[in-house]
Amino acid sequence: MQPAELSAVDLVAAIRQGDLTAVQCTEAFLERVARLDGSINAFLKVDREGALATAAAIDARRKAGKPLGALAGLPVAVKDALCTRDLPTTCASKMLAGFRPPYDADTVARLRAADAVIVGKTNMDEFAMGGSNENSAFGPVKNPWDLARAPGGSSGGSAACVAADMAPVAIGSDTGGSIRQPAGLCGITGLKPTYGRVSRRGLVAFASSLDQIGPMARSAADCALVLETIAGHDPLDSTSLAADVPRYTELLEQPLTGLRIGRVADHYAAGLDPEVKRGVDEAFAVFEAAGATIHEVELPHAKYGVPTYYLIAPCEASSNLARFDGAHYGHRSNPEGSHRAGSGGQAFESPLVEMYCRSRGEGFGPEVKRRIMLGTYALSAGYYDAYYAKALKVRRLIRQDYLDAFERVDLIGGPVSATPAFKLGEKTGDPLAMYLVDLYTVATNLAGVGGISFPCGFTRGGLPVGFQLQGPALAEPLLLRAADRFQRLTDWHLRRPKQIA
């Protein structure tokens, strides 16, 4: 078997046993990147040299009988929103082009300490704002199942590189669905852990009260393996949880007998694609056959999720992105540059203000600017109470809905996206249509709980359909166990895109 066909769990075992070297494994995936990424654009940076050097060092340590980390030799692709020492970190923005952070994000440091091999940085929507990966300053990512379609976003590069077997696992971040939705549209498995389960240190902040890092892989078992390494308390992220990290991989075995899964009637409202509905219905039937029971539950305020999210996330973003002013790091407008010709007669209070305005004007793309303006407006005197404070109150009600529902059921199931992967360009002219892509995912982040998405079928046209399970705080063992059981009973997650080989 080719390394690219093995699961992450099997790759780690093969390397540990000496059936495969870390160099062979890394080379196999890098060869696919070299061959396929020209048409997919999942990577913003491939660190061929660094990855092979790390792999060679791991092989040497193994040969010398030295101890190896839990992910020894496993290639991992990292979303370009996570800081990597000595490797560019751009957030797919011109604002950060050429930026090399002086430190590793906590997740990256943990991966390196576990002897994973960082193969590169993946493409994304600029500053993680988007649901199609078309907001990248470095070109959109193509969906490996149909190159004319979007992979979803914002972790579209991470999803597409796993779907195309260019890396066995990838790291994503999810503020309102950015792990789960692209996982769903690309036919892979993606876990958004409970808020605080994984440290956010070194994740370029979008909306700090919603952001969460998580694993993306071909199966729930592979996600469990990676989560075991990246989860845990970080004294340098005060919002990271102090709870112990369970051995997720060892908790998958228990059967689902007696598991109560909730179904939300509102999830079936108009707009749900019939082929998605069929896949979701069939997934519920698989869970029932596995011993779970299905119960109708209500999340009465979830319908306010999208408007609530699109106030809170831009408000936090407008504050977080204030640091990109051209003075500290990132793009600085060149005062000698040709822009003077295009100043449109604009007068600035001072050369400093002019430098700020021009640097931000040139560095940020249109969606990022839209969010900064939305957030600044909603936080300004006179509007704060009407918009931001009100959104916080609705957020509280949404969270309470989840707490109430989880009194009655263990998990909540449903679609992750209303439609399968849409065409590139289909929604770029209509920001509102793009925001509605997040219908089924934003409430999870507003409530601070966890969710996992995985493939539950295919459309007649051959596009993956995703199923989402949401669970209470710190229910990752149960989310992973339920998804893993589903994947033992079905083979949707084993299908590979035909367009690419």
Select 107 or 178, whichever has its Cβ closest to ligand GLN: 178
Pick the catalytic residue: 178, 199, 333, 359?
Answer: 178
Select 3 or 151, whichever has its Cβ closest to ligand GLN: 151
Select 155 or 229, whichever has its Cβ closest to ligand GLN: 155
Cα–Cα distance, 132 to 144 (Å, whole number): 14
Select 188 or 252, whichever has its Cβ closest to ligand GLN: 188
Extract the tokens encoding 389.
Answer: 């404070």
Answer yes or no: 343 catalytic.
no
Select 69 or 140, whichever has its Cβ closest to ligand GLN: 140
Select 150 or 256, whichever has its Cβ closest to ligand GLN: 150
Pick the catalytic residue: 45, 79, 142, 427?
Answer: 79
Supply the minimum distance, in Å, between the C-beta of residue 28 and ligand GLN.
31
Give me the residue label for tokens 């050429």.
98
Instruction: State how far Cα 181 lies from the chain centre.
Output: 8
Residue 158: CB atoms within 10 A of its CB come to 41
Supply the minimum distance, in Å, between the C-beta of residue 129 and ligand GLN.
5
Nearest residue to the partner ligand GLN, using Cβ = 178
Q: Which residues bind ligand GLN (CB under 6 A)?
A: 128-131, 154, 174-178, 206, 313, 438
Extract the tokens encoding 441.
Answer: 């995912």
Supply the minimum distance, in Å, between the C-beta of residue 123 and ligand GLN.
14
One-letter identity of residue 166: M
Q: What's 387's DSSP letter?
A: I
Select 152 or 187, whichever has its Cβ closest to ligand GLN: 152
Cα–Cα distance, 155 to 229 (Å, whole number): 20
Answer yes or no: 178 catalytic.
yes
Select 131 or 144, whichever has its Cβ closest to ligand GLN: 131
Q: Residue 153 contacts by C-beta under 8 Å, 6 or more apart in sequence?
A: 124, 125, 130, 131, 132, 133, 134, 135, 178, 181, 182
Cα–Cα distance, 144 to 183 (Å, whole number): 12
Pick the catalytic residue: 7, 136, 154, 158?
Answer: 154
Contact (CB, 8 A) for 273 and 418: yes
Cα–Cα distance, 113 to 73 (Å, whole number): 12
Partnered with residue 78 across adjacent β-strands are 121, 171
Helix, strand or coil for residue 345?
Answer: coil
Supply the minimum distance, in Å, between the C-beta of residue 426 and ligand GLN.
15
> DSSP characters for 166-198?
S-SEEEEE-SSSTTHHHHHHHT-EEEEPPTTSB
Select 62 or 267, whichever has its Cβ closest to ligand GLN: 267
Answer yes or no: 238 catalytic.
no
Supply the minimum distance, in Å, between the C-beta of residue 315 and ligand GLN.
12
Supply the minimum distance, in Å, between the C-beta of residue 427 and ligand GLN.
11
Cα–Cα distance, 283 to 24 (Å, whole number): 37
Select 206 or 356, whichever has its Cβ closest to ligand GLN: 206
Supply the minimum distance, in Å, between the C-beta of residue 212 and ligand GLN.
9
Cα–Cα distance, 212 to 226 (Å, whole number): 15
Buried b (16+ CB within 10 A) or exposed e, 76-103: bbbbbbbbbeebbbbbbbbbbeebebee
Q: Residue 287 contacts by C-beta under 8 Å, 6 or more apart in sequence?
A: 256, 259, 261, 294, 413, 482, 486
Q: Residue 127 contacts by C-beta under 8 Å, 6 or more apart in sequence?
A: 81, 91, 92, 93, 204, 206, 317, 321, 368
Task: Determine phi and psi for 28, rounding to 5 degrees.
Answer: -60, -40
Supply the minimum distance, in Å, between the C-beta of residue 348 and ligand GLN.
31
Would strands 411-415 and 293-297 be described as parallel, antiparallel, or unpaired? unpaired
Supply the minimum distance, in Å, between the C-beta of residue 120 and ligand GLN.
20
Supply the minimum distance, in Å, between the C-beta of residue 175 and ligand GLN.
4
Buried b (16+ CB within 10 A) or exposed e, 408-439: ebbbbbbbbbbbbbbebebbbeebeebbebbb
Residues labelled catalytic: 79, 154, 178
